[in-house]
Amino acid sequence: MDTIVARPGDGAAVLTADLLITHAWIVTMDDQRRIYRDGGLAIAGDRIIAVGPSDMVEQAVVAREVIDGRDRFVVTPGFVNGHVHITGEPITRGVVPDDTDWRTNVFDWLIPTYMVQTPQEEAVSATFAALEMLRTGTTCFVEAGTILDLGAVTDALAATGIRGRLGQWVQDRAFAPDEDQAALTTAAIARLEGQMARYPATGDPLLAAWPCLVGHNTATDDLWREATALARETGTGVTAHMSADPADPDYYLATTGRRPIAHLADLGVLGGHLSLTHAIFLDGEEAGMIAASGTTITHCPMTAMKGAYGASAAGLFPEMAAAGVNIQFGTDGNNNGNSADMMRAMFATAGLFKDARRDASLFPATRVLEMATINGARGAQLGHAIGSLEPGKRADFVLHDRNRPEWRPLLNVVNQLVYSADGRGVHSVWVDGRRVVDNYRSTLIDEEKLYAEVEAAGAAVLARAGMKVPSLWPVS
């Protein structure tokens, strides 16, 4: 059915809603990928209770508030950002020079700024990241795992209204000869258990903890196994970086005799609970293992472009997509100068592989929109709750403003979303039925106050890390 009607056909309004949106373009992302040119959407509490043709929904619903979207709004599910660093990088945005290689970027620029943050600065950074995501249509995210003070960050995020899965920076491999490997592993596992007990995912709360492994070569086999066991016991996921650079396969080949994905398969840690970020330097066998196991791959196109990772030249993303791999998007780190705007990631992916392979059939706009919504929800272990606009799902959705040049004329709404529009056209956002962005402004965050805090925090972090902002041109 197109809508929920308790007594269909009797002509009486039988559903009570808090909000009814009428006469809008609605992109549902449901199993049939239905799009309504003149659609209605009703929510009660934190749930969608009706969606379908506007006249049907209006007949079925009595609402406390009605928004007429006629010739004004396009409604989509909220986007899901599968990999984003919400601390450190948002408040030092753009500092990293754009001629640094992967190793220099990570070890000389990013890690030093992560490690000198105070809990207050992490809270400011997380709030700022949440604001940017919400203002550009992202309603749910998975943190990349570089949080130091999880309590401060979680408290800050709770005040923004965003949905997220997050965790502390966890690794355990002993690289120095005098380090106690057993003690490092014990401490890392205890940290995972502690944060998941403190912020459980039971009942799909807005914020919950996950095993967020740094990945690459930083986790021992024991940590991989324990993180996986925890995720499977609690119905959560595991996120980790892997194979952004040839250094990862080189390490695993030298130490285990197998490439990274093959080694993880041997450990029994691949599966639908796992999201691997970047995954650029895979071979065909590894890509096949990813597909067979149901592991999610998180593609970060803007970081790949800025950091010259080689995603379009070496990555097997078209092959993995063709094999049915759940590929989702991440915006990764803002220190590269990236935006957290998922719509920019959509546009980049829709074009990059077409051009690199000279194949216009790759990553059509429809597939790219799936990656930003239902694929991301699946990767976040929330496919049952978010990612599409269907009765019974959580009310996470976005109103895109058509009263802008990039939205006129509106002929093909999916192409328009991917190729013409971006997050600057996001008018309003709801998360869990709560309006968190209204008329381009956060309803919960004092934006001017936050901007001042971000300016101060960014300068303080760089000073403490002993860094100066590089510039090829004179700045006076």
Full residue range of the structural domain in which residue 72 is found = 15-77+388-442
Residues 95 and 202 in one domain: yes
Beta carbons of 96 and 470 less than 8 angstroms apart? no
Residues 354 and 310 in one domain: yes
Residues 65 and 170 in one domain: no
Residues 232 and 138 in one domain: yes
In degrees, rounded to 5, the angle at the alpha carbon of residue 422 between the alpha carbons of residues 413 and 438 is: 95
Residues 72 and 83 in one domain: no
- 191 occurs within a structural domain: yes
- 420 occurs within a structural domain: yes
Beta carbons of 317 and 299 less than 8 angstroms apart? yes
- 448 occurs within a structural domain: no
Residues 239 and 250 in one domain: yes
Residues 225 and 322 in one domain: yes
- 455 occurs within a structural domain: no
* Averaged pLDDT in 10-residue chunks for the chain of 476 residues: 44 84 98 98 98 97 97 98 94 88 85 92 97 98 93 98 96 96 98 97 97 97 98 97 97 98 98 98 98 98 93 97 98 82 97 97 98 98 98 98 97 98 98 98 98 97 93 92
The predicted pLDDT at position 101 comes to: 83
Domain tally, the chain = 2
Residues 280 and 361 in one domain: yes
- 5 occurs within a structural domain: no
- Where a domain ends, among 337, 353, 379? 379
Q: How many CA atoms are closer than 13 Å to the CA of 67, on its beta-carbon side? A: 23
The predicted pLDDT at position 1 comes to: 39
Alpha-carbon span 327 to 298, nearest angstrom: 6
The predicted pLDDT at position 5 comes to: 42
Supply the CATH number for residue 412's domain. Answer: 2.30.40.10
Residues 373 and 397 in one domain: no
Residues 214 and 321 in one domain: yes
Does this model's pTM top 0.85? yes
- 472 occurs within a structural domain: no
The predicted pLDDT at position 11 comes to: 53
- 127 occurs within a structural domain: yes
- 469 occurs within a structural domain: no
Supply the CATH number for residue 97's domain. Answer: 3.20.20.140
The predicted pLDDT at position 136 comes to: 98
